[in-house]
Structure 1
Amino acid sequence: MAKIHSLKISNYRGIKKLEQVFGITDFICLIGRGDSGKTTILDAISKVLSPIWNQTFHDTDFYNGNISNSIEIEASLYDLPISLTNENKYGLYIRGLEKETNIIHDDIKDDYLEILTIKLIVDKNLEPKWTIVNNRENQEEIEMRANDRAKLNVFLVSDYVDKHFSWSKGNPLYSLLKQDDSIDEKNNIILDAFREAKQEIDTSSFNHLDDTVKKVVDSASKLGADIKDNTTTTIDFKDISINNQRISLHDDKIPFRLKGKGSKRIISMAIQTELSKLGGILLIDEIEQGLEPDRAQHLAQTLKRENKGQIFITTHSRDVLVELTTTDLFRVKNNYSKLYEFDSSLQGCIRSNPEAFFSNKVLVCEGPTEIGFCRGLNNYLITEKGINSAIKGVRFANGGGSTQIDYTKAFLNAGYKVCLFCDSDVQKINDEKSSLSFLGVTVIDSDDKKAMENHIFEDLPWDAIVELIEYRIEEKDEDSVKASINSKYTSELGENWKDIDSNDLRDAIYKASIVKKKEWFKRTDHGEVIGNISLKYKQKFLDKKLGKQIDQLINWIEND
């Protein structure tokens, strides 16, 4: 069954112009900030491939409400139903996809993949018109009818899924029914089932009404109307609207439409997943809505694994994202004419930093200490400036040490504003910094051959260093902390060693803090303590390297 290869949208709601090639793929996840246009893209697909002949449009559906520019939505599809590609249908309008280049040609060659392009135009009269597009010379425009669009099996799961539980035409439940080869489409089996139910009601007893009926029969007889032999109580067909919408799924006697939002959405997806086993396009807006994290995770994993058609989803959930691969993701950004795709180098980042993908700006930190330090910085911004990283669309991502350069480049290529917060003690990393700066990355690093820990113990006032030592003592014990410092000190520590500030002692504390497998601060929570303590004394070391790094970080977070 048909799948979308590429999509074009013009002047529809918040999208002025968008052209995107999805390629040959079965699972697409759209991510982006709120109001970036994710839902609009799903709605556009739903409209251009809608089985409904009288779709309703309003002036507000036009970009900026400007009705002088028509809405145009165009979808190019492959894996087409044979019933649509016959010459007596749309076969003469088939186009060809050159798979090596992803270019669609109006003429088709033997090694091209068959493509059918459907276009929806809505002008200021608000009357939708669906046509088949092929720009071959002398090719006349041809309309595509609703019953042909219905063969594409396209359904949208949104907040309004109650109708998906009724058996009316155009709904997924009815489309699933039609796929049963044993069903004779000439007969309306839904209405037949309704009539059978009516017959059952007719044979039922209404004993509690018999006394009243008898009074009426006797009175009628006195007045000359003999109705005593045939009078019964049952339901009048006139009072029952006999249409498919009245027949719906129930849980015992309770309609499915009264279930919780999460359950309703899952049941709707279940119906459409069955449909997609024979092909179809399922559109799911905010897949995690109404679901606990584990259910959302399981749902995404199952849909991706068992999908036989094509699925488009949107999400804001980290739990959903960790189940996907970078090739599944397309980033939607306001006022951009195409979607951003993600490099495979970010696959590890999805697992460790899924939240970063939902931001506008990514601060790639070398490791957990830097991540924690930035969290402490964020605490300072909240307390002292009344702002925070979330308001500014900033997310801190763990660069994982050796992968920090790859992550930085990949986020930059995906359209994010990126800052790299790193050390300068690895030459391989240092060699990349100038090229990153040239590409637009803000690089905030340590002095040459130094790490952040160097600047912490060199630049912070002694009172702050004592606080860090006390924090370490709480984590371990004073004797072991003193012993580790003593092992790196040029002489013996005295009783009042925490009262004495010297370069030699600072150096010993630094060296003790970075001993492999015994590092003091190589954890995010420890890094946050460093950040909190450092910002507490910010005014006392503004002229030092650490103070300048803090100012650079604040400036980058604050400025859009």
Structure 2
Amino acid sequence: MPDQPAQPAPPLAEAPYIRLLMIKRFRGIEKLIWYPGRGVNILLGGGDVGKTTILEAIALLLNPTNASTLSDSDYWQRKYEDGFEIGAIMALPLSSGIADQKKTVWPWHWNGKTARVPDIETGDGHVDDPVYCLRVSGTPDFELQHEILQPDDTVDHFPVSVRRNIGLVRLSGDDRNDRDLRLIQGSALERLLSDKTLRSRLGNEIAKTDVKNVLQDDAKTALNTLDERFKKRALPTDLSLGLVGGPGFSLNALIGLTATKDGTLLPLSSWGAGTRRLAALEVAAAHQVEHPVMVVDEIERGLESYRQRILMEELIARPSQVFVTTHSAPAVNAAVGASLWYVDAGGAVGELPAAIGPQQKRDPETFLARVAIIAEGATEVGFVTTLINRSLGEDMRRYGIWVSDGGSNSEALTVLRGLSNSGLKVAGFADNEGTQTGLWAEVKAKLGDLLMRWPEGCLETNVIPHLTDDQLEAFIRDPDGDAGERLRTLAERAGTEEKTLAAVQAATDNILKLMVEAACGSVTNDLPDATKKAWKRHGQRWFKSSAGGAELADKVFELGLWPKVQDRLLPFVNAVRAAIGLPAVQTVD
């Protein structure tokens, strides 16, 4: 196992948890090494990047039965001759029974980055922070081998009894949920009831049923004719019908949970998808194992938003280690306290740092997009949305692009720093306030043209100065054609009672500077507090909103200002296009 930066060792495990997961040549994953969190781990990412495969690998490793069968699709590129391997370094509580085997299973020492052979000569055999190395392999003969790797380089069997004591709660597709609500061998319900003689007792009862007697007349005639044919061939006669067993067939599989609805007893498998999933989760969680490892694929499937939030909060409150995949914004929003991970197209897993927590609450769609653009404020959101839509000729959401409000210049920087290291495809659009220049330079080095940041100032200070006198009236008018509110802000700042453009121009020696100050809501320290408060609100009458940002972008194109800002904005536009696989454009219309 590869080394990772050392981390403080947590206390002895009260619940089993995976410290390191390694997957080799399993399904669509050629190689993956991951250090998941101890609590809830949310796996995000696009389709077909391996999120479900990671969950299936964990479930296969800890499968509480030996009933699984393999096919060539379980092997990387169907090269079954190479086999596959799923390994984990796990912390296990004594309740798992790992120390109660007939043959001693020795712990390894976890040094904060990998499992090491303990130095037993320096103590009484006690191992600080013990872990166990577990593995399941798929052989070229399509067989599964569950193994425990001992510190002395020997390999022992990883028994079903220990796997059951570790515990696995698995919530995947609807077919799996239905299976766990029936007495199929290895299902959660079968393991919960654990009635080993039910099959034979059930068979004896069913054998008493006279199936032949309930046949329709035509069917009875056909059966009697078949009996005559058997007689002529000296085959067994007196044919009848009854339920019989056979390889792979279980009478118990016909039995499942039922529940009463409106006075009628119905199989639980006939209820809604969400109800079946939650029921399967409760059945699995009802086992005697106190804190099982849990894997939940697409937590949102069949569940309303409020149920997604409740389920996520309940999972986070458990001591169990949990693995969840989701494409749901409500689920991400509710996952405060969970570890968020992004799986990229190459199968690499990157952690989203805790610092992005405010963005997770503010706009969880950020983490579900193909490309997330973090704009520092509402004005930038509207401006960038209009700009990218124009470059694409259609709604950018069709390409998986999402523009999100970063909250402020400093908060947008925090989010961009966190996401730029995660594998999530991210871009940024921000002002230059002359602060945190070193950190902004680091983000720029990582994102390149995907970060658009003005040399200095903000949108308004980089657009308005390009206006000519004959464009001022058109620029001041709002989308409804009214200029009154914006002229009022200019008149107040110019100190003129007459609220006309001509009067304002006559009262100031720099109309463009005045417009920038009004649009930005700028104030100076020498103003009375009441005036400061009123002037700060001026920006809201101009472009300080998402709709205002969109209006400003439209004016850039309508008034022919685009060529004057194209050198700054076009590289950003083309970087976003490249991120979704589109060619560069020479300009934006």
TM-score (norm 1): 0.80
Query: Partner residue of 1:270?
Result: 282
Query: Partner residue of 1:400?
Result: 408
Alpha-carbon distance between aligned partners in 1 of 2:502 and 2:185, rounded to the nearest angstrom: 83
Alpha-carbon distance between aligned partners in 1 of 2:184 and 2:572, rounded to the nearest angstrom: 58
Alpha-carbon distance between aligned partners in 2 of 1:558 and 1:471, rounded to the nearest angstrom: 31
Query: Partner residue of 1:219?
Result: none
Q: 1:512 aligns with which of 513, 518, 525?
A: 518
Describe how 1:332-371 pairs up with structure 2 within 5 A.
332-337=343-348, 339-371=349-381
Per-residue CA deviations over 1:148-178 (Å, capped at 9, x if unaligned) read: 4333322421112111111344222233335
1:455 aligned onto 2:455: no
Q: Which runs of 5+ in 2 are unaligned?
A: 1-14, 120-124, 218-239, 522-534, 580-589
1:34 aligned onto 2:47: yes
Alpha-carbon distance between aligned partners in 2 of 1:419 and 1:380, rounded to the nearest angstrom: 17
Query: Partner residue of 2:71?
Result: 58
1:254 aligned onto 2:273: no
1:302 aligned onto 2:314: yes
Alpha-carbon distance between aligned partners in 2 of 1:468 and 1:191, rounded to the nearest angstrom: 86
> 1:236: how far off?
8.8
Query: Partner residue of 1:414?
Result: 422
Is contact 2:333-2:360 (8 Å) kept? yes
Residues 466 and 146 of structure 1, relative CA distance in 2, 3 Å threshold: farther
Residues 536 and 170 of structure 1, relative CA distance in 2, 3 Å threshold: farther
Query: Partner residue of 2:488?
Result: 483
Alpha-carbon distance between aligned partners in 2 of 1:366 and 1:435, rounded to the nearest angstrom: 17
Describe how 1:431-446 pairs up with structure 2 within 5 A.
431-442=438-449, 443-446=451-454
> 1:197: how far off?
10
Query: Partner residue of 1:69?
Result: 82
Describe how 1:149-228 pairs up with structure 2 within 5 A.
149-159=163-173, 160=175, 161-178=177-194, 188=197
Residues 484 and 66 of structure 1, relative CA distance in 2, 3 Å threshold: same
Is contact 1:381-1:388 (8 Å) kept? no
1:280 aligned onto 2:289: no
Percentage of pairs with the same residue:
20
Q: Does the residue aligned with 1:517 lie in a helix, a strand or coil?
A: helix
Corresponding letter in the other structure for 2:408? G
Corresponding letter in the other structure for 2:134? I
Q: Does the residue aligned with 1:45 lie in a helix, a strand or coil?
A: helix
Is contact 1:83-1:89 (8 Å) kept? no
1:325 aligned onto 2:341: no
Is contact 2:106-2:151 (8 Å) kept? no
Is contact 1:9-1:72 (8 Å) kept? yes
Q: 1:559 aligns with which of 554, 578, 581?
A: 578
State the aligned residue count: 507
Residues 541 and 73 of structure 1, relative CA distance in 2, 3 Å threshold: same
Is contact 1:542-1:548 (8 Å) kept? no
Corresponding letter in the other structure for 1:358? L
Residues 422 and 495 of structure 1, relative CA distance in 2, 3 Å threshold: closer
Alpha-carbon distance between aligned partners in 2 of 1:463 and 1:324, rounded to the nearest angstrom: 53
Residues 158 and 416 of structure 1, relative CA distance in 2, 3 Å threshold: closer
TM-score (norm 2): 0.76
1:117 aligned onto 2:133: yes
Residues 115 and 236 of structure 1, relative CA distance in 2, 3 Å threshold: farther
Residues 495 and 317 of structure 1, relative CA distance in 2, 3 Å threshold: same
Alpha-carbon distance between aligned partners in 2 of 1:524 and 1:269, rounded to the nearest angstrom: 42
Corresponding letter in the other structure for 2:476? I
Is contact 2:488-2:499 (8 Å) kept? no
1:10 aligned onto 2:24: yes
Is contact 1:420-1:441 (8 Å) kept? no
Query: Partner residue of 2:148?
Result: 132
Q: Does the residue aligned with 1:357 lie in a helix, a strand or coil?
A: helix
Q: Does the residue aligned with 2:286 lie in a helix, a strand or coil?
A: helix
Q: Please report the RMSD computed on the Cα atoms of aligned residues, expressed in angstroms.
A: 3.5
Corresponding letter in the other structure for 2:155? E
Alpha-carbon distance between aligned partners in 1 of 2:63 and 2:452, rounded to the nearest angstrom: 51
Q: Does the residue aligned with 1:322 lie in a helix, a strand or coil?
A: helix
> 1:467: how far off?
5.1
> 1:440: how far off?
4.1
Q: Does the residue aligned with 1:485 lie in a helix, a strand or coil?
A: helix
Is contact 2:352-2:418 (8 Å) kept? yes
Q: 1:526 aligns with which of 544, 548, 557?
A: 548
> 1:367: how far off?
1.2
Corresponding letter in the other structure for 2:444? S
Q: Which runs of 5+ in 1 are unaligned?
A: 179-184, 203-208, 213-234
Alpha-carbon distance between aligned partners in 2 of 1:36 and 1:296, rounded to the nearest angstrom: 23
Alpha-carbon distance between aligned partners in 2 of 1:359 and 1:351, rounded to the nearest angstrom: 15
Corresponding letter in the other structure for 2:489? S
Alpha-carbon distance between aligned partners in 2 of 1:498 and 1:237, rounded to the nearest angstrom: 101
Per-residue CA deviations over 1:108-127 (Å, capped at 9, x if unaligned) read: 76352332322111132212
Alpha-carbon distance between aligned partners in 1 of 2:206 and 2:474, rounded to the nearest angstrom: 79
Q: Does the residue aligned with 2:478 lie in a helix, a strand or coil?
A: helix
> 1:357: how far off?
1.6
Q: 2:561 aligns with which of 532, 537, 541?
A: 541
Alpha-carbon distance between aligned partners in 2 of 1:463 and 1:417, rounded to the nearest angstrom: 42
Corresponding letter in the other structure for 2:172? S
